[in-house]
Amino acid sequence: MEAKPFLTDIKTIRARARQHMLRGAVTEGYKADRETVIRLLNEALATEIVCTLRYKYHYFMASGIHAQSVAAEFLEHAGEEQAHADRIAERIVQLGGAPNLSPDNLLSRSHSEYVEGSDLTSMIREDLVAERIAIDSYREIIQYLGDKDPTSRRVMEEILAKEEEHADDLQTLLEGLDSSSHQHQPK
């Protein structure tokens, strides 16, 4: 059995690069279904935009004894979700697609929902649910991408890691609020 060379003949790579120059980052070696990847990334983009908007709403509407520290966490998460949206939009453009930033049907494209919550605890719960939805759906996107699109996979893996961190932060906040509310109740 003859071993396959590690690298395609460099002359062939050079010729292909010149021949298909206008395809930008999408070379002959790209193995994923580009249209499907762009659709999945646009769904993730919508998810990040919805999460940004929900966190911003929670930031402005947080009230109560613990509001200041929780609101700071909401604002931090909102900024990170916006950064995720920007990274996803950039990747969509690299793949020759257009990021769908239209507010029309934003919620139907998003994996997460936009639920405002009525108090600090319900806001944190809704954010935690949304993070858990993002974690599972992003994990599926990563599995779909596999080795067919390692760059998009890496972008989504980095975002997934941050979403897992957000979920952990929110769980800790929720536990802190639950324990402090039990401490302050009359016996």
Q: Return the minimum-mean-pLDDT range out of 30-34, 60-64, 140-144, 162-166.
A: 30-34
CATH of the domain at 118: 1.20.1260.10
Reported as a pLDDT band with limits 50, 70 and 90, residue 187 is: very low
Contact by Cβ (8 Å): 145, 151: no
3-class DSSP assignment, residue 96: coil
Q: Which is more confident, 182 or 37? A: 37
Number of domains, the chain: 1
Instruction: Tell whether 186 is covered by a domain.
Output: no
Cα–Cα distance for residue pair 153/143, rounded to 1 Å:
8
Query: Does residue 185 carry a pLDDT above 60?
Result: no
Reported as a pLDDT band with limits 50, 70 and 90, residue 9 is: confident
- Smallest CA-to-CA distance from 156 within 24, 33, 43 is with 43
DSSP annotation of 3 reads P
Instruction: Tell whether 121 is covered by a domain.
Output: yes
Domain that holds residue 146: 30-181
Reported as a single tens digit per residue, the pLDDT across 116-151 is: 999 999 999 999 999 999 999 999 999 999 999 999
Instruction: Tell whether 17 is covered by a domain.
Output: no
Instruction: Tell whether 23 is covered by a domain.
Output: no
Question: What would the mean pLDDT of 87-113 be, rounded to a whole number?
Answer: 96
Q: Which is more confident, 29 or 79? A: 79
Instruction: Tell whether 3 is covered by a domain.
Output: no
Question: What would the mean pLDDT of 16-44 be, rounded to a whole number?
Answer: 80
Contact by Cβ (8 Å): 44, 141: yes
Query: What residue type is assigned to position 31 of the chain?
Result: K
Contact by Cβ (8 Å): 88, 160: no
The set of residues, in sequence order, having a beta carbon less than 8 Å from that of 167 and lying 6+ positions away, is: 128, 131, 132, 135
- Smallest CA-to-CA distance from 58 within 106, 11, 4, 125 is with 125
Instruction: Tell whether 134 is covered by a domain.
Output: yes
Reported as a pLDDT band with limits 50, 70 and 90, residue 178 is: confident
Cα–Cα distance for residue pair 24/92, rounded to 1 Å:
12
Angle, in degrees to the nearest 10, between helices 150-183 and 67-94: 170
What is the pTM for the complete model shown?
0.84
pLDDT at position 66? 84
Question: What would the mean pLDDT of 3-22 be, rounded to a whole number?
Answer: 66
Instruction: Tell whether 20 is covered by a domain.
Output: no
Contact by Cβ (8 Å): 64, 120: yes
Instruction: Tell whether 43 is covered by a domain.
Output: yes
- Dihedral of the alpha carbons of 128, 79, 162, 94, in degrees to the nearest 10: 120
